[in-house]
Amino acid sequence: LEIAMYWISLGFPIRTVLRICQVPRSSYYYRMKHSEPQKPIGKGRPIPGFSYDINGKKVADTRIKSYLRQLIAGPNEAFGYRKLTVLLRRKYGLVINKKKVYRLCKALCILAPQRERTNKVPRRVANNRVVTGPNQLWQMDIKYGYIAGKRRHFYLASIIDVFDRAIVAYYKGKACNTQAVLHTLQKALLKRNVNVQDHALVIRTDNGPQFINKAFYAFCEQAGIEHERTPNRTPNKNAYIESFHSILERECYQRNCFETYEEAFTEVDRFLKYYNNHRIHGSLKDWPPREYLSLVKQGLIKPKDIAL
């Protein structure tokens, strides 16, 4: 019956199609008069079995299915349900959303299989730790800034040492890809001479695309760094870099209206130099990060263990 209704929807004579398909006329007209009942999904309302066109006329789901068959019979056979939705709206004037088109495509068995992710890397979830000194745990993240004169954004990738709150290294630019992040991390390792210390360095990030690819994983393996990733929707696991971003937003970004990239980059450089060398921190006994670390190494300040 479905095949017969498909050919009838294309304009072929009803009696001829029913005779060829060996479908009784009574079955066809009963089906047209009593549309096939739809099963309700969950506790919601039942599926109506039709949609409207731009003129407000009802178009049965069987007719829409025939449209879908016609669309995938031509050069659009590789299209997914989202693009088929666009074609149904433009070519046939239907008022329909992609969720219903997905449901109809699934009923017709014309959905392509989902692509498998092939670049997944092992994930080490962030653990509870106690930080007792520098270069034990770093946190890294990316922050946006806005250029009002260009109506564009710029990026700032920063690495903070949880122990002394210092920004070990950072990158600023119009874009921020994996190579920029790796260059920043390498610069931080050289600056702190991490390769000569006897304990392993842990770097914690979120699940941004710059941090979950094979290149970042391979670099950490080669450098002997333990890379931790925070669980989804848990910014508290990256609290120190998030806190720095809040300070950056409040004391730098909101106090300036940048007209050019050069102006923004100059101001960011100035602020980060001030942050590391002069801005006092209540959690560091009211010392800037650089002086705090120097006093700790001299034994003049006894630091507190940081549990996170």
For the chain, domain boundaries: 2-108, 130-307
* 69 CB-contact burial (10 Å; exposed 0-12 / middle 13-18 / buried 19+): middle
Token pair belonging to 215 = 């290149």
pLDDT at position 31 is: 80
Architecture of domain 130-307: 2-Layer Sandwich (3.30)
pLDDT at position 119 is: 61
State pLDDT tens for residues 22-38: 888 888 888 877 765 55
Q: Which of 103-112, 235-244, 296-305 has the lowest mean pLDDT?
A: 103-112
Confidence label for 292 from pLDDT (cuts 50, 70 and 90): very high
pLDDT at position 150 is: 92
> What are the C-alpha distances in Å from 98 to residues 73, 101, 234?
20, 5, 31
Q: What is the mean pLDDT of the segment spanning 45-53?
A: 82
Distance CA 40, CA 46 (A): 4
Contact 253, 146 (CB under 8 A): yes
CA angle (208, 226, 204) in 5-degree steps = 40
> What are the C-alpha distances in Å from 245 to residues 62, 66, 147, 253, 254?
55, 54, 17, 10, 12
Confidence label for 267 from pLDDT (cuts 50, 70 and 90): very high
Token pair belonging to 70 = 């016609």
State pLDDT tens for residues 120-160: 788 888 888 999 999 999 999 999 999 999 999 999 999 99
Question: Mean of the per-residue pLDDT values for the chain?
Answer: 90
Find where tokens 């801005």 sit. 279
Distance CA 36, CA 62 (A): 10
CB atoms within 10 A of CB 143: 21
- pLDDT tops 80 at residue 106: yes
64: Cβ contacts below 8 Å, ≥ 6 apart: 51, 88, 94, 96, 104
Distance CA 308, CA 305 (A): 10
